[in-house]
Amino acid sequence: MKHLTLAALAATMMLGGCAPEPPAPMSVVPAPRQLEWHRMEQYAFVHFTVNTFTNREWGYGDEPESVFNPTDFDADALVKIVKDAGLKGLILTAKHHDGFCLWPSAYTEHSVKNSPYKDGKGDIVGEVAEACRRQGVKFGIYLSPWDRNHAGYGTDEYLEYYRNQLRELLTAYGPVFEMWFDGANGGDGYYGGANETRILESGYLYYDWPKVVEIIRELSPETVVWSSSLPDARWCGNERGVIAETNWCMATPEKLYPGGHDDVEVLTHGMEDGNRWAPAEADVSIRPGWFYHADQKPKTPEQLFDIYLTSVGRGGTLLLNLAPDTRGRVPEEDVASLMAWRKMVDETFARDLADGAKAEASSSRGRGYGADKVIGGDNGYWATADDTVTGDVTLTWSEPQKMNYVSIQEHIELGQRVRTFEVEVLENGAWRKAAEGTTVGYKRILPLGGVEAAALRVRFTDSRGPLAIERIAVY
Ligand code: FUL
């Protein structure tokens, strides 16, 4: 027995000694629910309510329930479009600012139950949640805090109503991958017939977001909370689908929402020294409006492709909105654009050239953390020693390859580290800088312009700690 152990020890030593410890995690790392969320990369928003029928973006709150009358709604058809487009989830406007509920809530009469849809027996939230489960698409909910219908909006009565609805939704329609709380807070509205303006001094204080988050954590701990104030995920600061090139996944809540208002600078870039994981999500509509309007056109597949590069390609997620029409169907031209975009993304990123390359690094942490780990993903990560915060990985091919994009991913389980990097290509025997960037995070995609090169080198020129790179892919 003793001999065997010694032999095994000798073999281990010949192979380069004991495997080193992994790099220590940075002080802020993602929770498992956030990691899972990052990996979804892209999911759909669906804006559908009375506004679809009144041709508005923000309903006033006085719309009779009778206006909600989709003639051909089919939850499975909607979810199939989302799934075929490669979108991994669907967040539905269960209630928008007008207060109309797409589910038969026990707490109000202002819902589908008093609409002509299925003679009041329909439940859009339930039907979509079920269709999502059947088709393997994750389900999420938008529940507008601002409610222009409710008579008690602005008082404690409304808060109780709102929290009851939140509990009702999470209990009846879970699992919910993301809860989406928009930032529109107060203004004029119907408010049960008062027809007045109600301005909140501070949305943060009124809604008591810590209390709302507590309810979600209790009923649905796996749900990612999207909001301005206490987020698991943050707004990227615009509705164009453009995340900043320098994009840290960390932020400090007090800095995101100082004085009850968004700090767009912090939302846009995040904070290198932020005290919680609050990654950027890019919400953008396929059309100019969030809701359907007959006179609007969808974005082209090329526009959607650019949005993919400035959202998923900058380390965040893409929340792409679809707007069903008065039939309850996603307009055919939108579906065509969406599917053409999907095809473009799939074809562009179909074959990772790194699969046929040899990988070498300037240095490594030791056994189990070599350069080969960057190829293919899912097999660990390349890491440097504790005192080494710069380094490079070179991929070499036997023949020159035509390169359109490089995609780099950090091992974010251990936090976000890279501050700056450069990409060089070996073209006709000489190295040339082809691209450069700042942060990497979950994923960073940069164009290489179709260069023909026999090698590609990523030089990490500054990092917050030892490097931990999960994947370098070339397309
Ligand atoms: C905003 C809302 O005011 C818009 O109507 C839309 O729902 C957008 C996604 O969020 O806060």
Domain boundaries defined on the chain: 32-348, 353-474
Q: Measured in angstroms, how far is the CA atom of residue 147 from the centroid of ligand 1?
A: 13
Q: Whose CA is nearest to atom 1 of ligand 1?
A: 182
* Average pLDDT over all residues of the chain: 95
Q: Whose CA is nearest to atom 11 of ligand 1?
A: 182
Q: Whose CA is nearest to atom 4 of ligand 1?
A: 290
As a CATH number, domain 353-474 is 2.60.120.260
Q: Measured in angstroms, how far is the CA atom of residue 240 from the centroid of ligand 1?
A: 13
> How high is the pLDDT of residue 344?
98
- Could you give the CA distance from residue 91 to residue 93 in angstroms, rounded to a whole number? 7
| Paired sense of beta strands 250-251 and 276-277, if any | antiparallel
pLDDT in tens, 298-348: 999 999 999 999 999 999 999 999 999 999 999 999 999 999 999 999 999
Q: Measured in angstroms, how far is the CA atom of residue 182 from the centroid of ligand 1?
A: 6
Answer whether residue 450 shows pLDDT above 70. yes
Which atom of ligand 1 is least distant from the CA of 93?
7
Average pLDDT over residues 210-238: 94
Q: Measured in angstroms, how far is the CA atom of residue 143 from the centroid of ligand 1?
A: 11
Output the six-digit token pair for 129.
Answer: 């949640």
Q: Whose CA is nearest to atom 10 of ligand 1?
A: 182
- Could you give the CA distance from residue 267 to residue 235 in angstroms, rounded to a whole number? 6
Q: Which range has highest mean pLDDT (191-205, 254-268, 351-365)?
A: 351-365
Tell me the best of 182, 229, 235, 261 to mutate to test the pocket of ligand 1, counting ligand atoms within 8 Å of each CB and taking the most.
182
> How high is the pLDDT of residue 49?
98
> By C-alpha distance, which of 91, 84, 87, 157 is closest to 125?
91
Which atom of ligand 1 is least distant from the CA of 47?
7
Which atom of ligand 1 is least distant from the CA of 290?
6
Tell me the best of 57, 290, 318, 321 to mutate to test the pocket of ligand 1, counting ligand atoms within 8 Å of each CB and taking the most.
290
User: Can you give the pTM of this predicted structure?
Assistant: 0.95
Answer whether residue 16 shows pLDDT above 80. no
E strand map for 62-155: 89-95, 138-143
Q: Are 32-348 and 353-474 the same fold in CATH?
A: no
Answer whether residue 254 shows pLDDT above 60. yes
Confidence of residue 17 (pLDDT cuts 50, 70, 90): low
> By C-alpha distance, which of 269, 265, 248 is closest to 257?
265
Q: Measured in angstroms, how far is the CA atom of residue 9 from the centroid of ligand 1?
A: 62
Confidence of residue 14 (pLDDT cuts 50, 70, 90): very low
Which atom of ligand 1 is least distant from the CA of 96?
7
CATH superfamily of 32-348: Glycosidases (3.20.20.80)
Identify whether the C-beta of residue 37 lies closer than 8 Å to the C-beta of residue 177: yes
Ligand 1 is surrounded, with C-beta below 6 A, by 57-58, 182-184, 283, 290
Answer whether residue 212 shows pLDDT above 50. yes
> How high is the pLDDT of residue 8?
47
Bridge partners of 266, per DSSP, are: none
> How high is the pLDDT of residue 355?
96
Percentage, residues of the chain above pLDDT 90: 91
Confidence of residue 203 (pLDDT cuts 50, 70, 90): confident
> How high is the pLDDT of residue 260?
75
E strand map for 238-335: 250-251, 276-277, 280-285, 317-322
Q: Measured in angstroms, how far is the CA atom of residue 462 from the centroid of ligand 1?
A: 38
Average pLDDT over residues 157-163: 98
